């Protein structure tokens, strides 16, 4: 009898050990499968070669001081350390209205992944640049155009200036690139996914980081009123620029994304049209930084 009881207890122990071994093997298999599934998800997320993307959004820009040189018939002078600001519009329906798409500062891009982690892009940064009025700045040079009238008031800024001081009143100068400071560029970016690092297992949400450089031309529509001359406001290729940027990209359901970019750059415009007379021109260069918020779509054609 005691032997029978002992055999039963031993059998129970063996069954328990077999059960525990089965559970351990099952859990190990499940962990392996989970790791395999996660690895498969990451591989699919990082497979981007051959994909296209397009985006649209808005920006805010901030500019360094700049020296602006004006030259034309009977005047040749430089204004030093001129300050400028951008011109944001209050957020509203105009941001989405087809007829007002370029009224706010806007960004547009079209790109292609030529490798899984690298893309090439063409884009437009439609920024706004407005010289700050009514500030005193230093001036060097010559003005010799005589009297002129604005709103039935006569003004005369003639003189030989040598480190002089002048006020940037609207009757002397209005100067802005508001439609706009158009930077048309081509760039190359590196694109990295951080789902594995952050432990995000779903393929329907991605956290990505994009870094890149770009170079392009400036096609501003410069709005200028200078020394009583007729207001001029027209597009003109005026110079070049280059920039570097870093962006946070959040992609949803493999195609739709939101992106926030921070860009720093340099702009040099040696040929700015200021009046209807081609003899009149200006030149300036400055640095800037820009924040852009865009939404986009990633897709394949083949």
Q: Beta strand pairing status for 221-226 and 205-218?
A: unpaired
Query: DSSP per residue over 33-50, as a string?
Result: HHHHHHHHHHHHHT--TT
Spatial CA neighbour of 138 closest among 106, 110, 169, 162: 162
Query: DSSP per residue over 251-264, as a string?
Result: EETTTEEEEEEEEE
How many other CB atoms sit within 10 Å of the CB of residue 282? 24
Which pLDDT tens digit goes with each residue over 147-161?
A: 999 988 999 999 999
Spatial CA neighbour of 176 closest among 125, 223, 236, 219: 223
Which pLDDT tens digit goes with each residue over 225-268?
A: 999 998 888 899 999 999 999 999 999 999 999 999 999 999 99
Spatial CA neighbour of 247 closest among 256, 238, 257: 257
Give the pLDDT score at 92.
64
Give the pLDDT score at 98.
65
The larger pLDDT score, comparing residue 36 to residue 121, is at 121
Residue 216 pLDDT > 90? yes
Give the pLDDT score at 199.
86
C-alpha distances (whole Å) from 246 to each of 124, 167, 232, 241 are 17, 38, 36, 17
Residue 20 pLDDT > 90? no
pLDDT band at 5 (very low <50, low <70, confident <90, very high): very low
d(CA 139, CA 141): 7
Predicted model pTM: 0.84
For range 129-139, the mean pLDDT: 97
E strand or H helix that includes residue 21: helix 2-45
Output the 3-class SS for 120-146: EEEEEEEEEEEECCCCEEEEEEEECCC
**DSSP 8-state symbol, 104:** S
In Å, how far from its chain's centre is CA 115? 22
Which pLDDT tens digit goes with each residue over 223-236?
A: 999 999 988 888 99
User: Could you tell me which residues come within 8 angstroms of residue 254 by beta carbon, excluding any fewer than 6 positions away?
Assistant: 203, 204, 206, 298
d(CA 210, CA 186): 15
CB distance 269 to 235 below 8 Å: no
For range 43-51, the mean pLDDT: 86
Q: What percent of the chain has a predicted confidence (pLDDT) above 70?
A: 83
């Amino acid at each position: 009898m005691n032997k029978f009881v002992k055999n039963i207890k031993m059998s129970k122990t063996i069954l328990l050990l077999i059960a525990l071994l089965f559970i351990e093997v099952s859990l190990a298999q499940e962990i392996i499968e989970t790791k395999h599934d996660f690895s498969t998800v990451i591989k699919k997320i990082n497979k981007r070669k051959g994909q296209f993307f397009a985006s649209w959004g808005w920006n805010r820009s901030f500019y360094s001081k700049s020296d602006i040189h004006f030259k034309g018939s009977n005047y040749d002078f430089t204004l030093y350390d001129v300050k400028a600001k951008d011109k944001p519009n209050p957020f509203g329906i105009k941001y989405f209205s087809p007829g007002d798409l370029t009224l706010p500062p806007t960004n547009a891009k079209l790109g292609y992944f030529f490798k899984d982690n690298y893309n090439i892009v063409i884009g437009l940064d439609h920024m706004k640049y407005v010289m700050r009025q009514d500030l005193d700045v230093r001036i060097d040079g010559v003005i010799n155009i005589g009297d002129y009238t604005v709103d039935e008031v006569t003004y005369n800024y003639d003189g030989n200036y040598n480190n002089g001081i002048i006020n940037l009143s609207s009757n002397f100068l209005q100067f802005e690139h508001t439609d706009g400071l158009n930077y048309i560029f081509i760039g190359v970016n590196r694109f990295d996914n951080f789902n594995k690092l952050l432990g995000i297992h779903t393929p329907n949400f991605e956290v990505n980081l994009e870094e890149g450089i770009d170079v392009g031309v400036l096609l501003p529509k410069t709005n200028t009123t200078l020394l009583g001359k007729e207001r001029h406001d027209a597009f003109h290729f005026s110079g070049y620029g280059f920039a570097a940027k870093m962006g946070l990209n959040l992609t949803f359901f493999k195609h739709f994304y939101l992106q926030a970019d921070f860009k720093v750059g340099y702009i040099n415009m040696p040929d700015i049209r200021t009046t209807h007379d081609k003899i009149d021109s200006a030149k300036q260069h400055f640095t800037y930084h820009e924040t852009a918020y865009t939404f986009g779509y990633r897709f394949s054609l083949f």
